[in-house]
């Protein structure tokens, strides 16, 4: 009578291979879900920052210097540049303000004045931009009334 040991060993190896493949697929799913979670967290944080900056700019009626002061940015705003740039690291700590900020920037917020197309109306676009690939995470247009002919609207 022949021994069944080789057959049992072969069966065990096939089962081990199946479990290894299942474990690899599970690990891949966990890594994907972690990446999706991080992207969602960044998008939520960007949304909060964009809303905060948009409301501040609206309150200041487009005065970027006053908005930067109200936002308590740790770096001064350069009034020679038309766009307010605020740069953040991967933990959403402010690492600089201005056009070129250098290394360590994970996301930037840009506030760009826009033409509203109507007298007495000011507009700006606030965008959160992911810096490695420069994709817009979230954008919001904000508008406010301005004085026309000595009357506030």
Q: Is residue 151 part of a domain?
A: no
Which residues 6+ apart lie within 8 Å of 51 measured at CB?
A: 140
What is the span of the domain harbouring residue 10?
5-145
Structurally, how many domains does the chain consist of?
1
139 with 126: CB under 8 angstroms?
A: yes
> Count of alpha carbons within 13 Å of 54, Cβ hemisphere only?
18
pLDDT in tens, 20-61: 999 999 999 999 999 999 888 888 988 998 999 899 989 988
Looking at residues 127-143, what average pLDDT do you find? 87
| In-domain check, residue 153 | no
Asked whether the predicted pLDDT for residue 19 surpasses 80, the reply is yes
Least confident piece of the model among 31-35, 120-124, 128-132: 128-132
Which of the 8 DSSP states describes residue 4?
S
Per-chain mean pLDDT for the chain: 84
Let me know if residue 150 belongs to a domain: no
């Amino acid at each position: 009578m022949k021994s069944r040991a080789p057959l049992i060993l072969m069966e065990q190896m096939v089962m081990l291979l199946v479990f290894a493949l299942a474990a690899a697929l599970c690990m891949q799913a966990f890594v994907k879900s972690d990446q999706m979670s991080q992207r969602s967290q960044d998008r939520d944080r960007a949304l909060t920052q964009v809303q905060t900056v948009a409301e501040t700019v609206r309150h200041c009626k487009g005065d970027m210097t006053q908005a930067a002061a109200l936002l308590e940015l740790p770096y001064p705003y350069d009034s020679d540049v038309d766009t307010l740039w605020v740069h953040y690291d991967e933990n959403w700590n402010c690492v600089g303000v201005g056009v070129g900020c250098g290394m360590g920037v994970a996301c930037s917020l840009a506030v760009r004045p826009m033409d509203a197309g109507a007298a007495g109306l000011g507009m700006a676009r606030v965008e959160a931009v992911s810096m490695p690939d420069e994709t817009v995470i979230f954008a919001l247009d904000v508008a406010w009334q301005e004085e026309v002919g000595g009357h506030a609207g």
